[in-house]
Structure 1
Amino acid sequence: MNQKIEIQPQNTIQSYIDEISISNPVANKYSMSMTRVQWRIWLLATFGKFFEGMIVFMMGLTLPLLTLQFHLTELQKGIISSSILFGILIGASALGGLSDLYGRKKMFIIEMALLSICLIGMATSQTYLSILVFNFGIGLALGCDYPTAHLMISESIPSKNRGKLVLGAFAFQSIGVLLGILTGIFVLTYVNDINAWRIMYIIALIPSLAITIARFFIPESAHWLLSKNRKADAEKSLKRLLHRSQQSSMPIEETPCDDVELSSWLHGYKRLFKEKYRAKTILASVPWFIQDLGTYGIGIFTPVILASVLDPHQVTGGDALHNTIANTIYLAKGTAVIDCLLIVGVICAIIFSESIGRMKLQIYGFIGCAVGLLCAAISVKMHGDYQMYLLFLGFMLFNFMNNLGPNAQTYLISGEVFPVKIRAKGAGFAASVAKFGAILTAFLFPILLHEIGVFSLLLCLVMTSLLGAWVTHKYRFETSGKNIENL
């Protein structure tokens, strides 16, 4: 008698996470049904991007007061602006890469504790050197968050939700940018003092302390535990993640190993440049580098560009402090209007990332950025109201297309294209390369604005945006909707 043999699907970690209700598969196809623990991990991961947007872009508002209080030279202003970005560059690889060795959760906690300590240091700094040190420390913490937060989300949620939720977390960067500017406007409006910049950092400190504590109460990534041959711990972590009883049966079968075990921390970085992963490393890092040239150049120096192009009627008649505060508030309001499109752009990225695909959105986004920057460049040669309208239109189009495409997609792609054993190193390396572009922008932008002018500088960014579209097209590798264990 022939027996009917049922072939059971492989019970991998991701297959458990990807399970949907058999009784109502149609409803679950369109829902984002997840456990409370999965939602808690996602919410805690959003704050890393929130703090980056708030603190990094708030620098454009605190710098005028720092300059006044500490009598900073142009060189010192450039060093302070770029120090936080240099910290991100180092932190993404040196600290973020450690989550491949010591665990996602451990570095997830350490980075936020470091951020809180450095925010306290910034708020109490009395010298230029201490500001430089703590600003760099803030960057280290934010850099570490690039790979760890991404992996905490992507290794804990269903494949069909990954793009939406990773980009949803990334959207908090734009919310942070806008809230940072609004915080600056509020503080400068009601605190007419040269130390008003300290209050901005204290405001950021309060939620960072709360998030540090909350991150202790989430499970470690089961994917990472299994990669370290800690199968029993992986099963316990998975049961907690999916809200199952620890006594329930959830046997895990290992997925095929991508290659040999890593022999050292450095070995993981060497593998990124081997033939097997070289194209993915280029795709993850080079377009992100190009994107950050424009993102941080336009983002940090929007008030400066508005001042140089529109030549606002500056407040005069008071002392230097009152004039500085009044003019900073004036330009911050214009910046806030422009930055609203960042949020609209990333919302569209969340909606269309799966249906259109990461690669198409990144390519279209780069081209859209080029068009926006070209409009802004043309406005420089105009006069009157049309100049203001075209300048705002150009910057708003740039912000929308940037967050729809390269700014959002580069972050998402970097955490998807590498295998689990080198995933944090790959994402961290890509973030570090990107932040090298941000450092170049932060340091050189004021100098280039003075030497070659706004028009020529914006045309240079038009060309780099088109280059980003070409590199993405050449090395494109679509990850939309794919199981992270199989990528």
Structure 2
Amino acid sequence: MRIEEILDCEELSSLQRKILWIARFSWAFVAMEIIIISFTLSLFTKIFNLKGFEIGLLASASLIGNIIGAVIFGGIGDKVGRRPLFQITLLWYSIFTALTSLSNTFYELVILRILAGIGLGGMLVIDPALLSEFLPPKKRGRLMVSLDLFWPIGSFIALLLAYLFLESFNGNWRGLFLAAAFPAFMVALFRLIVPETPFFLAKIGKIEVAASILTKLTGRNIEANSITFAVEEEGSYSELFTFYKRRVIAMLAAWMSLNYTYYGLFLWLPTALNILALYGNNIWFFLVLAFLFQIPGYLSAMFLVEKWGRKSTLTVYLLMSGITGITMGLTTNNVLLFTMSMLLVSFFNLGAWGSVYPFTSELFPTKLRGKSFGLAEGTGKVIAVLGPLIFGALYEITGVVTIPLMVTMTIAIVGSIIILIFAPETKKLVFD
């Protein structure tokens, strides 16, 4: 039997549920770490007397680390396996996040944010690749989206911690970063129980070990001689572009447009709301609403990736995030319409994020899965770095928030069109 067929059970086993929950909580801390800097930018601007470029550099520092981590760990993961890197990456991030609290200069702060970002970049590649190889194929799409449901939860935790330490504790940013590191460190310890994936073990010829893991995953006695799996040579990036060119184009369009729009908009959102002065002293309340609207976006995507398919859900949600984002840019003089547009952008943009992981994980065979995620994350994070910088540059040139908002969210529409043209539907594709 193929590993896909062995894993195709109606109910998740105890081990599968544990792995899923560990991955979910880890994902929440990735979001918390990336978003938390947006709440500290104005404070650091005052402390270190920062100029425009320096503010943008600080906002993008962890994203720069993401690029490095995604490319490095994605390639290594296809060689040494998912498990070792699954254990290392979160621990790496939590250590350097804690060390961020010891920064005394602007450049120390930037360097430590980059180093923490390297661990995050590894997690963004390894975690979905590992999780997808433990899940039943019929439930994989919905459960992969459930992983991303914890992204807005992490963002919400970041907002609460920022409010607690920056508002209630008089700008205690050092305590903020220590608080962000501690729970991540605890989850890193729980990641030690996760085994290597049976797909990777079979790929490198360790069929007996793969059978043992499959026995634990399914609760059935799986014999090694019952597993059929072709042991293949290691995949390469050139193979991606030679045999899967159209899929690579669609994958890169999805990741580039999502990264540019998400980080360009949401890392600037607290600052933009301050500039617009639409909400007076109630900015924190409306930020809470924006992050809460991400949750139903994910929940709806969790249902629709199985109902509509991965490609269809991703395309529609990305398109709608662009349309509502442009509407947001056009209604900065109307509080009601602006607020409705902001909430819908949160809904559709984060729902699109929930669709892109099952979409990407099913585009390529096992030997190329780590590299494809590494390429997607690395390329996406290059664009993510540009999002906040270009937003800031356009605001500085034009003096209004309308144009940066519209330019940023137009990219989502372009991405959705490319996906529609080049991507296959991955819902019924079989892993190998």
Report the counterpart of residue 24 of structure 1 in structure 2: none
Shift of the 355–312 alpha-carbon distance from structure 1 to 2, 3 Å rule, reads closer
The answer for the alignment partner of 1:321 in structure 2 is: none
Indicate the residue corresponding to 2:382 in structure 1: 436
1:95 shift after superposition: 1.4
- Structure-2 residue corresponding to 1:134: 112
1: distance between equivalents of 2:318 and 2:198? Answer: 36
Q: Deviation at 1:309?
A: 2.1
Contact 2:203 2:230 in 1 (8 A): no
Aligned to 1:217: 193
Q: 1:397 — aligned with what?
A: 344
Q: Does 1:347 align with 2:286?
A: no
3-state SS in 2 of match to 1:431:
helix
Residues 79, 358 of structure 1: CA spacing in aligned structure 2 closer, same or farther, 3 A cutoff? same
Work out the CA distance in 1 between the residues paired with 2:248 and 2:116: 26
Q: Which amino acid aligns with 2:427?
A: S
TM-score by structure 2 length?
A: 0.95
Distance 2:158 2:57 in 1: 21
Q: Does 1:410 align with 2:356?
A: yes
1:333 is displaced (CA, Å) by: 2.7
Q: Distance in 1 between matches of 2:55 and 2:402?
A: 23
Cα shift at 1:187: 2.2
Counterpart Cα distance in 2 of 1:455 and 1:74:
19
CA distance in 2 between counterparts of 1:75 and 1:211 reads 35
Are the counterparts in 1 of residues 61 and 110 from structure 2 also a CA contact under 8 Å? Answer: yes
Number of the residue aligned with 2:239: 271
Task: Please list, as runs of the form range in 1=range in 2, the aligned pairs for 1:7-406 lying within 5 A after superposition.
Answer: 11-19=1-9, 28=10, 33-192=11-170, 194=171, 196-244=172-220, 249=223, 251-256=225-230, 261-262=233-234, 268-274=236-242, 276-310=243-277, 313=280, 330-380=282-332, 382=333, 387-404=334-351, 406=352
Report the counterpart of residue 317 of structure 1 in structure 2: none
Greater shift, 343-352 or 408-417, is seen at 408-417
Structure 2 Cα separation of the partners of residues 333 and 185 of structure 1: 11
Tell me if the contact between 1:13 and 1:252 (Cα under 8 Å) persists in the aligned partners: no
SS at match of 1:153: helix
Aligned residues with identical type, % of pairs: 23
**Structure 2 Cα separation of the partners of residues 48 and 79 of structure 1:** 26
Which deviations, in whole Å up to 9, do the C-alpha atoms of 1:246-271 show, x marking residues without a partner?
xx6453433346xx613xxxx61222
* 1:60 Cα deviation from its structure 2 partner: 1.2
Q: Which stretch shows the higher mean deviation, 65-74 or 90-99?
A: 65-74
Q: Contact conserved, 2:73 with 2:126, CA < 8 A, in 1? A: no
Say if 1:231 and 1:252, in contact at 8 Å, map to a contact too.
no
- Alpha-carbon distance in structure 2 between the residues aligned to 1:450 and 1:441: 14
Distance 2:196 2:115 in 1: 25
Does the CA contact (< 8 Å) of 2:83 and 2:197 recur in 1?
yes
Q: Which residue identity is paired with 2:7?
A: I
Establish whether residue 423 from structure 1 lines up as the match of residue 399 from structure 2. Answer: no
Question: What CA distance in whole angstroms lies between the structure 2 residues aligned with 1:301 and 1:388?
Answer: 18
- The normalised TM-score by structure 1 is 0.84
* Structure 1 residue 244 displacement after superposition: 4.7
| Equivalent residues in 2 for 1:437-476, closer than 5 Å | 437-452=383-398, 453-476=400-423
Give the alignment's Cα RMSD to 1 decimal. Answer: 1.8
Quote the offset at 1:59 in angstroms: 0.8
Deviation at 1:74, TM superposition (A): 2.0
Contact (CA 8 Å) 2:362, 2:429: kept in 1 or not? no
Q: Deviations over 1:15-57 (max 9, x none)?
A: 11114xxxxxxxx4xxxx1111101111111233212211111
Following superposition, the deviation at residue 481 of structure 1 comes to 4.5
Cα 1:88–1:252, aligned 2, differ >3 Å: closer, same or farther? farther
Q: Which moved more, 1:159-168 or 1:41-50?
A: 41-50
Correspondence for 1:322 = none
Distance across 2 between alignment mates of 1:433 and 1:409: 18
Question: What is the letter of the counterpart of residue 295 of structure 1?
Answer: Y
**Structure with the greater alpha carbon radius of gyration:** 1
Q: Which moved more, 1:297-306 or 1:344-353?
A: 297-306
| Equivalent-residue separation in structure 2 for 1:67 and 1:461 (angstroms) | 24
Measured in 2, the distance between the counterparts of 1:227 and 1:56 equals 34
SS in 2 for 1:126: coil
Count of residues in correspondence between the two structures: 431
Which structure 2 segments of 5+ residues have no match?
A: none
In structure 2, what residue type is equivalent to 1:368? M
Q: Distance in 2 between matches of 1:249 and 1:437?
A: 46
Does the 8 Å CA contact 1:153/1:165 hold for their aligned counterparts? Answer: no
Q: 2:37 & 2:188 partners in 1: Cα distance?
A: 23
Contact 2:149 2:299 in 1 (8 A): yes
SS in 1 for 2:401: helix
Shift of residue 63, structure 1, vs aligned partner: 1.8
What are the Cα deviations for residues 372-411 of structure 1, in whole angstroms up to 9, with x where unaligned? 112212213x3xxxx111111111111111122x322223
- Residue 219 of structure 1: SS of its match in structure 2? coil
- Cα-to-partner distance string for 1:84-119 (whole Å, 9 max, x where unaligned): 111111211111321111110100011011112101
- Structure 1 residue ranges (4+ consecutive) displaced by more than 4 angstroms after TM superposition: none
Q: Is the 8 A contact 2:297 2:346 kept in 1?
A: yes
Q: 8 Å contact 1:219–1:241 — kept in the other structure? A: no
- Taking the aligned partners of 1:355 and 1:127, their CA distance within structure 2 comes to 51
Q: Is the 8 A contact 1:354 1:481 kept in 2?
A: no
* Corresponding residue of 1:23: none
Cα displacement (A) at 1:67: 2.1
Separation of aligned partners in 2, 1:164 and 1:418: 19
